[in-house]
Amino acid sequence: MDQGDEQTGGPPTPRGRPRADGTPVPHPARVVVTGGAGFVGSWLCTRLLELGSAVVCVDNFVTSSRDGLGHLRSAPGFELVEQDVSDGLVVDGAVDWVLHLACPASPPHYLRLPVETMRVGSVGTMHALDLAERKQARFVLASTSEVYGDPLEHPQQESYWGNVNPIGPRSVYDEAKRFSEAVTTAYRGSRGVDTGIVRIFNTYGPGMLPDDGRAIPTFLGQALAGEPLTVAGDGSQTRSICYVTDTVEGILAMAAHDHPGPVNLGNTHEVSMLELAETIRELTGSSSEISFVPLPGDDPKVRRPDTTLARELLGWEPLVGADEGLARTLEWFRQQAGQGVAAGPEPRRAPRRR
């Protein structure tokens, strides 16, 4: 998903947002998306194709499914490269943007693949940066709010250095992304690569795998199955949830800019996990009980982005509220029930931003 006249998160038109000197950024003819078969990645590929870009999707399917690309594989301009970016990244032909999303992102995945997570965050990111350097392409790293750890600042601004346990259970993901940010900055400073960093906060929507392990797909699956909704701790910990189309438009607004970042991308609507579980139970009409389970180690107590920079720099802000986003997601989960692995999201046109 890119930027365009019809959009969901307020990024620029297909010609791109002007650079600091006022010159327009051409619409990207060809974009490489690493981790393009993942949840956010498949939405990103879909939106780019809608807007006329050719897309090279790179994925090794270690935490994603080929079924998630079913709607894309026959699309004109779409190319799939099955490859682990940790082993290298070679793409023939011209490339305008490299959007680097490859990395296990949910706790069950990165806890199952700790070394692989660290490796893709380090050498995998360097291979993606090397490709951008060779192609003279704009590089955007999809980093995460997890770099803030269990924050002592609330809401979190980009200037906050974070409170991360480097040897804790979440450290393989947190530190992989922190290294990714550091090496991206190093390539910009020492090699002149045109780089940008976005820090993505909790994102949800159609296309999430049922076994993702994050709160919204877990609660939806449990509610639809009539099982207890498992809330960690006392449920007072908070997250800010952002619908996937908004996140995607923010990534592309950053790609069309020349700012190095980091820039927070997320919705400032903050909700406790207990409130979220109760909302999903009500939305589904489920009679499931709430079951409290032990809180995972180093689980952040609060999480809410300060999105001032994204709004002022990129002209971006979320457009899809939680009620609408959760209803769309529930509808999709219901459609997928009993059909095995979920297929990727169909393109959804969003209201025109005014």
> Which sequence positions are flagged as catalytic?
173
The pairing of strands 270-272 and 238-240 is antiparallel
CA gap 7, 116 in Å, rounded: 34
Burial class of residue 290 in the structure, from the number of CB atoms within 10 Å of its CB (0-12 exposed, 13-18 middle, 19+ buried): middle
Tokens of 84: 């682990």
| Complete DSSP assignment for 13-48 | -TT----TTSPPPPPPSEEEEETTTSHHHHHHHHHH
Tokens of 319: 């457009």
Task: Answer for the pair 251, 315: CB distance below 8 angstroms, yes or no.
Answer: no
8-state DSSP, 90: -
CA gap 317, 320 in Å, rounded: 10
CA gap 217, 206 in Å, rounded: 9
CA gap 213, 218 in Å, rounded: 6
Tokens of 275: 């409130």
3-state SS class at 141: strand
Dihedral angle over CA of 112, 114, 120, 125, nearest 10: 130
Burial class of residue 221 in the structure, from the number of CB atoms within 10 Å of its CB (0-12 exposed, 13-18 middle, 19+ buried): middle
